[in-house]
């Protein structure tokens, strides 16, 4: 399979290593120094694109791939207010679009555990829930896409929580997410339920970016011959 890498930073390079190990070819490597090479990608030279860039460039990148009917896997976060627009374009063309806030298999299992715990805690209002996420200093958006997914899972199960906020809060209707940026941290996410008598904590700690990269390549393999809008739940049940 011929894979174009849109975004060739640390994550892009690890994705390349795993893709080559799995027998794929790299049809293009697009970064900030050769952005115009994006326009050279088409269905004749590329089977699928993997997009890991920045919020300011992701929408243009996705629109180009979808208009060219190149299936595209996206892991960029911080742009999700435009996601419905991209999904509508994908359906209209038609093409294939796969998005995940986190491609790690472990994190996606953690998402399910988080929702299950929130469902159990819904009848115990004496527990106050809060979140923390820690990432490397190069990560620009906060909170992380993974933290937002976790927060949305909690909000769906706790009726008294109406929204998340990226700060400490005394408002009982708000879910606090504290974001920290430290050197060399691939990603740590913690959810804590605290009462006056005890505390329940679940935590996911990534030790490297390889889990994210492998998941992205698996997603590319999954979506390359499909049409539609997909996510990790589709890949995991495949």
- Whether the per-residue pLDDT at 21 is higher than 70: the answer is yes
Whether 139 is a known active-site residue: answer: yes
Which one of the listed residues 135, 161, 189, 204 is annotated catalytic? 135
Q: How confident is the model over 138-157, as a mean pLDDT?
A: 93
Residues 6+ apart with CB under 8 A from 93: 66, 67, 69
Burial class (CB in 10 A: 0-12, 13-18, 19+), 70: buried
- Find, among 220, 162, 210, 208, the residue nearest to 3 by Cα: 220
Burial class (CB in 10 A: 0-12, 13-18, 19+), 232: buried
- Give residue limits of the domains in the chain: 2-103+210-236, 105-206
In this predicted structure, what is the pLDDT of residue 169? 97
In this predicted structure, what is the pLDDT of residue 238? 67
pLDDT mean across residues, the chain: 95
- State the fold for domain 2-103+210-236: Rossmann fold (3.40.50)
Residue 207: both structure tokens together: 């030790």
- Whether the per-residue pLDDT at 16 is higher than 80: the answer is yes
- Whether the per-residue pLDDT at 109 is higher than 80: the answer is yes
- State the fold for domain 105-206: Dihydrodipicolinate Reductase; domain 2 (3.30.360)
In this predicted structure, what is the pLDDT of residue 140? 79
In percent, the amount of the chain with pLDDT more than 70 equals: 100
Which one of the listed residues 10, 13, 136, 139 is annotated catalytic? 139
As a whole number of angstroms, the distance between CA 8 and CA 10 comes to 7
Whether 13 is a known active-site residue: answer: no
Q: How confident is the model over 118-141, as a mean pLDDT?
A: 94
């Amino acid at each position: 399979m011929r894979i174009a890498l849109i975004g060739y930073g640390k994550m892009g390079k690890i994705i390349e290593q795993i893709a080559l190990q799995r027998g794929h070819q790299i049809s293009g490597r697009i970064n900030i120094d050769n952005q115009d090479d994006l326009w050279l990608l088409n269905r004749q030279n590329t089977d699928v694109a993997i997009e890991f860039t920045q919020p300011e460039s992701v929408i243009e990148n996705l629109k180009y791939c979808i208009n060219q009917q190149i299936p595209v896997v996206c892991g960029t976060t911080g742009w999700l207010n435009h996601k419905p627009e991209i999904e509508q374009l994908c359906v209209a063309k038609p093409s294939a679009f796969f998005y995940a806030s986190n491609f790690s298999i472990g994190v996606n299992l953690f998402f399910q555990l988080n929702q299950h715990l929130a469902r159990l805690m819904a009848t115990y209002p004496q527990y106050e829930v809060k979140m923390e996420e820690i990432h490397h200093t190069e990560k620009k958006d906060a909170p992380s896409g993974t933290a937002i997914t976790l927060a949305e899972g909690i909000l769906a199960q706790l009726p008294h929580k109406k929204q998340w906020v990226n700060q400490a809060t005394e408002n009982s209707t708000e879910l606090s997410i504290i974001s920290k940026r430290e050197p060399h941290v691939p990603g740590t996410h913690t959810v804590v339920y605290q009462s006056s008598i005890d505390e329940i904590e679940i935590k996911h700690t990534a030790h490297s970016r390889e889990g994210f990269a492998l998941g992205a390549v698996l997603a590319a393999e999954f979506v390359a011959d499909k049409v539609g809008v997909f996510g990790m739940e589709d890949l995991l049940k495949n």
